[in-house]
């Protein structure tokens, strides 16, 4: 019996609504799989916690999380707390503190009806974006000089270390080799004449060790166009923190929207726990109404299962999402249906286990 400790950080807005559907999936799995069990610890951290305690998480929050096998996070951010505080004091603190330097964001069309692109099917839209997740443009380095004065200057410095750049590129090459796929690097060396020239050099250098992997390199502006016009060009993509963040929103747009986009924050050495989360935010415009689509959060559970080495469960979850989309009867309003978050989640459990939804 494998027992996995999972830290739950539902967070703000629709975070708790979608995480509770994902937890139902985990509980259903342990009910039907005698070899797996999960121990959950829930943390109340987020914007409400901030308004009450003046901090997004406990000072020793990372210590409290460090012995878990995975962190399952909903979303953080809410009107009333500046976004840079909610992001930096919780989400980025965990990603950086636990050196989760790989962000895996699949751009996979799960049903042809979901894409706004003409004549594109599941065959043409199926790739994985590997985003650098620990430094780059989101290193938090810079300065704010002469604040409020006419000579005011703001500096936001991108930080691209050899260690950080090499390890993400190497991870992507390994993944491409393992999956026998092509690898595309996306950068911007024409304009960013230090950081991205360096990125391209490291990509070429590391690439010499992987002669079996076919590679491409695009500028980020051209790549944005190809994401929309010819997504079939991509199999595995490696890119920087900022570019990956923006490009994967295009990825979400061509595969059905934010309600379907998932992301895993991985510490490949497993020295620290990895974190699984839907890509979307707390969606204050729809929170508390049962309108949130929990599919992205459920897909995060599939990524978690894959990370645990439970590939069969991971594949089954993704197949079941496809079945649910195909059935087209229990979908949330963002997908043109009128089911609530909970109704979609219950139908998912029914399809996954063959049982009616159990109330936990």
Ligand X SMILES: NC(=O)c1ccc[n+]([C@@H]2O[C@H](COP(=O)([O-])OP(=O)(O)OC[C@H]3O[C@@H](n4cnc5c(N)ncnc54)[C@H](O)[C@@H]3O)[C@@H](O)[C@H]2O)c1
Q: What mask of x and - would describe binding to ligand X in positions 36 to 75, judged by CB under 6 A?
A: ---------------------------------------x
By CB under 6 A, residue 16 contacts ligand X = no
Examine residue 252 and tell whether it contacts ligand X (CB under 6 A).
no
Q: Which is nearer to ligand X, 14 or 223 (CB)?
A: 14
256 binds ligand X (CB under 6 A): no
Q: Would you tell me how many other CB atoms lie within 10 Å of the CB of residue 358? A: 12
Asked if 286 touches ligand X (CB under 6 A), the answer is: yes
Q: Which two tokens stand for residue 134?
A: 């620990």
Q: In the window 295-314, what residues touch ligand X (CB under 6 A)? A: 296
d(CA 70, CA 4): 8
Residues near 210 by beta carbon (within 8 Å), at least 6 away in sequence: 173, 176, 177
Diameter over CA atoms, the chain: 67
- Side-chain-facing half-sphere of 344: CA atoms under 13 Å: 33
Contacts of range 82-90, beta carbons closer than 8 Å, 24 or more positions apart = 85/50, 85/56, 86/12, 86/46, 86/47, 86/50, 86/56, 88/140, 89/50, 89/55, 89/56, 89/57, 90/9, 90/11, 90/45, 90/46, 90/56, 90/57
Using CB under 6 A as the binding rule, the residues of this chain from 172 to 231 that contact ligand X are none
Q: Which is closer to ligand X, CB of 240 or CB of 293?
A: 293
Q: How far apart are CA 87 and CA 78, in angstroms?
A: 10
Asked if 91 interacts with ligand X (CB under 6 A), we say: yes
Residue 292 contacts ligand X per CB under 6 A: yes
- Residue number with CB closer to ligand X (30 or 334): 334
Q: Among 215, 255, 282, 300, which residue sits at the site for ligand X (rule: CB under 6 A)?
A: 282
Given candidates 59, 143, 269, 285, which one binds ligand X under the rule CB under 6 A? 285
Q: Is 293 in the site for ligand X (CB under 6 A)?
A: yes
Closer of 19 and 292 to ligand X (Cβ): 292
Q: Does residue 223 contact residue 302 with C-beta atoms inside 8 Å?
A: no
List the one residue from 89, 122, 334, 342 that touches ligand X (CB under 6 A). Answer: 334
Answer for which of 16, 46, 77, 273 binds ligand X (CB under 6 A) is: 77
Q: Does 242 bind ligand X (CB under 6 A)?
A: no
Task: Indicate whether 165 belongs to the interface with ligand X (CB under 6 A).
Answer: no
- Enumerate the H helices of 181-219 as residue ranges: 195-207
User: Measured from the CB atom, is 176 or 286 closer to ligand X?
Assistant: 286
The side-by-side arrangement of strands in the sheet containing 126-132 is 36-42, 2-11, 70-75, 274-278, 262-266, 102-108, 126-132, 236-239, 183-187, 215-219
Q: Considering the rule CB under 6 A, would residue 92 count as an interface residue with ligand X?
A: no
Q: Pseudo-torsion of CA 273, 277, 279, 283, nearest 10°? A: -130
Q: Does 96 bind ligand X (CB under 6 A)?
A: no
* 288 touches ligand X (CB under 6 A): no
Binding range to ligand X, per CB under 6 A, among 77-85, 97-105, 155-163, 180-188: 77-85
Near ligand X by CB under 6 A: residue from 159, 192, 258, 357:
258
| Window contacting ligand X (CB under 6 A); options: 111-119, 220-228, 266-274, 288-296 | 288-296
Distance CA 352, CA 320 (A): 6
Interhelix angle 220-229/241-253, nearest 10 degrees: 20
Interface size with ligand X, residues (CB under 6 A): 23
Q: Tell me which residues touch ligand X (CB under 6 A).
A: 14, 18, 75-78, 83, 87, 91, 258-259, 277, 280-286, 292-293, 296, 334
């Amino acid at each position: 019996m494998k027992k996995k400790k999972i830290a739950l950080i539902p967070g703000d807005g629709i975070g708790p609504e979608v995480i509770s559907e994902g937890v139902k999936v985990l509980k259903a799995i342990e009910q039907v799989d005698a070899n797996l069990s999960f121990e959950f610890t829930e943390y109340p951290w987020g914007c409400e916690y901030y308004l009450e305690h003046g901090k997004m998480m406990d000072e020793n929050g990372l210590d409290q999380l460090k012995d878990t096998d995975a962190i399952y996070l909903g979303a953080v951010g809410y009107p009333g707390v500046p976004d840079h505080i909610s992001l930096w004091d919780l989400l980025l603190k965990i990603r950086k503190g636990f050196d989760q330097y790989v962000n895996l964001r699949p751009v996979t069309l799960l049903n042809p009806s979901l894409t706004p692109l003409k004549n594109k099917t599941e065959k043409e839209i199926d790739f994985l974006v590997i985003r650098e997740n620990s430094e780059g443009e989101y290193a938090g380095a810079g300065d704010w000089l002469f604040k409020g004065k006419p000579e005011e200057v703001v500096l936001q410095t991108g930080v691209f270390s050899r260690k950080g750049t090499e390890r993400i590129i190497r991870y992507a090459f390994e993944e491409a080799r393992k999956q026998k796929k092509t690898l595309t690097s996306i950068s911007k060396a024409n304009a960013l004449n230090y950081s991205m020239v360096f990125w391209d050099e490291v990509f070429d250098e590391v690439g010499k060790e992987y002669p079996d992997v076919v590679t491409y390199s695009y500028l980020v502006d051209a790549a944005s166009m190809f994401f929309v016009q010819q997504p079939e060009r991509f199999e595995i993509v490696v890119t920087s923190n900022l570019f990956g963040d923006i490009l994967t929103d295009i990825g979400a747009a061509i595969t059905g929207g934010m309600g379907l986009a998932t992301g895993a924050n991985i510490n490949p050495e497993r020295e620290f726990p990895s974190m699984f989360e839907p890509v979307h935010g707390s969606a204050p415009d729809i929170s508390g109404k049962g309108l949130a689509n929990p599919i992205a959060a459920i897909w995060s559970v599939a990524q978690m299962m894959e990370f645990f080495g439970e590939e069969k469960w991971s594949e089954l979850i993704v197949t079941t999402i496809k079945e649910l989309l195909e059935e087209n009867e229990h979908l949330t309003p963002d997908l043109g249906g009128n089911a609530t978050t909970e109704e979609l989640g219950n139908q998912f459990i029914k399809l996954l286990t063959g049982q009616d939804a159990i109330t936990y």
